[in-house]
Structure 1
Amino acid sequence: MNFHSTEVRQKALTLLRGGARNADVARQLKVPVGTIGYWWHMDRSKRGECPGKHEPKCPHCDGVALDEPAYAYLLGLYLGDGHIIQYSGHRVPSLMITCTESWVGLMDLCEQAMRAVFPDNSVCRVRRTGCSNVKVYSNHLWCMFPQHGPGRKHERTIALESWQQDIVDSYPWEFIRGLIHSDGCRVTNWTTRIVAGERKRYEYPRYFFTNKSDDIRRLFTETLDKVGVGWTSLARGSDPFNISIARKASVALMDVYVGPKH
């Protein structure tokens, strides 16, 4: 085993603090690069600069700045297709949004929102058959998304806290977009009419939002009301799971601020 003097170690740290790369310092001082890396890690740890030593701060708990538009969008995605999990043996829980593999743009938007809301946390994509899970890891997920709880969302009460409602009120379109991108769609319907004795086909766009939770549908329709979008509730069997937006002016508004998934 090789031992290195305090003088060599201090010279290495001086170079590293000046911005030198580990490999360059190792070559200059003829010290193994692993030893240089260990010295640098211990030095940064003592000074409180070691990555991973401290949990990233939380906008809700610690009062750090929050990207509110991104949060409103991510909240909509979470209420639709998201859930928080913590596997056995994993130290940090994750928020996972499941996206169909063909919606590459949606996955990009989801990842951008996660990185904006949790800029110091790890974000990744996990590919599954026919879909991808976009995930962010944080110990503050439960305080940022207090709607988390045991069981399915439609089997428990879903209500926004006052600070969340303030964000949704400030950025309603971002919240609507998140809900549509998770549990909604833009489709083209068609019908036929008799005109001058001939049957003609007419096509028209329509937005749908489908969710089994009465509370989540209510949050969606209340926000639509605030931005002036007309809607109707359509029953699937005896349950009104579907919200339809079909009026021309309302669809035009949705096209401007939401648009189809891509």
Structure 2
Amino acid sequence: MYSRKIVDETFRLKAQGLTDKEIAARCGVSLRALRHWRYGTRRGPEVEARRADRTTYCPRCSTGSLHKEAYSYLLGAYLGDGHITENKNRPGVHTLWILYDKKYPQLIAYCRAAIEAVFPIKVFMADRPGCTAIKAASKHWPCVFPQHGPGKKHDRPILLEPWQRRIVDEHPQALVRGLIHSDGCRVINRIRKASSGAEAEYHEYPRYHFTNASTDIIDILTHALDRLDIAWKIHVNKRMPRYKDAHIVSISRRDAVARMDDFVGPKY
């Protein structure tokens, strides 16, 4: 019988992205024990009671409450670069995946905290080429993300339900922050200005970009920007093959960039 301290340590190490073999070696436990703690059927009365309490956390199909600001952020992250899959080995259980560039550990920690604030569940990290997958399993992800469906998001309608619209209208900054953190950027624009009789001068200024192939997601972002009175422009990309025909929202006016810096800022 392993102590509660050891069991909790294995979950902590898993959240840091270690493999089961690495965790087993570090904690001195068997792989079989690890997998039973996470997925197995040998559960004592204490675990069953905890699971019973967790069945009521969903705010849509049960009596749970929703942290609205965290949800607005997480909705933006999901719409920007997230998806939901169904677990083939556990019918009815879905996994939310949010992909963040591994260069930005603070953003990864921020997203993980948002997930934990929305649902009281374990959050795990998985390394992927060039990015970190932040993931958490629950039966209730489709309840709070009704936009989930087969295929790519830009191939199907992405429309907010009235209850979602009320939340993002109340917390538009959190939504914009989630969208920019997941699939946007803050860049330095450099413009060459020639002057007669002198060498060309270069002027630099910051701007924000958000690129997405779904016009519905673009509309969700621009609606939130309008509520914040942040000026934006939009154009269709024709240059980069990866984002061909995608829509790019650009925020470049000095006052608009200053507003964005107040609650979004550079990625880190």
Within 5 Å, give how 1:107-118 maps onto structure 2.
107-118=108-119
* Distance across 2 between alignment mates of 1:53 and 1:219: 36
* Paired residue total: 220
The amino acid of 1:109's aligned partner reads Y
2:212 matched to which residue of 1?
Answer: 211
Residue matched to 1:231: 232
Counterpart CA distance in 2 for 1:69 and 1:256 is 16
Question: 2:49 maps to what in 1?
Answer: 50
* 1:260 aligned onto 2:259: no
2:7 is aligned to none
The corresponding residue for 1:63 is 63
The sequence identity of aligned pairs, in percent, is 43
- Superposed, 1:92-241 pairs within 5 Å as 92-119=93-120, 121-195=121-195, 197-198=197-198, 199-237=200-238, 239=245, 241=247
> Within 2, Cα distance between the matches of 1:127 and 1:158?
28
Q: What is the DSSP-based 3-state SS (H/G/I as helix, E as strand, rest coil) of the residue aligned with 1:149?
A: coil
What one-letter code is carried by the residue in structure 1 that aligns with 2:51? G
Query: Aligned with 1:229: secondary structure?
Result: coil
Call closer, same or farther: CA 1:52–1:128 in 2, change over 3 Å. same
Contact 1:233 1:240 in 2 (8 A): no
Query: Where does residue 253 of structure 2 map in the other structure?
Result: 247
> TM-score, length-normalised on structure 1?
0.79
Contact preservation (8 Å) 2:214, 2:246:
no
Matches within 5 A, 1:66-105: 66-91=66-91, 92-105=93-106
**Displacement of 1:137:** 1.2
Q: CA deviation at 1:63?
A: 3.3
Provide the rounded CA distance (Å) in 1 between the counterparts of 2:56 and 2:195: 65
Q: CA deviation at 1:103?
A: 1.2
Larger Rg: 1
Deviation at 1:53, TM superposition (A): 4.1
The gaps in structure 2 that reach 5 residues or longer are 5-42, 239-243
* Structure 1, 163-172 or 235-244: larger mean CA deviation: 235-244
Q: Is the 8 A contact 1:124 1:135 kept in 2?
A: yes
Equivalent position SS for 2:235: strand
Query: Retained in 1: the 8 A contact 2:84–2:94?
Result: yes
Letter in 1 for 2:249: I
CA distance in structure 2 between the aligned counterparts of 1:50 and 1:65, rounded to whole angstroms: 20
Give the letter for the 1:141 counterpart. W
Q: Aligned letter for 1:244?
A: S
C-alpha RMSD of matched pairs (Å): 2.0
Confirm or deny that 1:41 pairs with 2:47: no
1:197 Cα offset (Å): 3.5
Distance 1:127 1:231 in 2: 34
Cα drift, residue 129 of structure 1: 2.6
Q: CA deviation at 1:59?
A: 1.6
Q: Structure 1 residues 180, 226: closer, same or farther in 2, change over 3 A? A: same
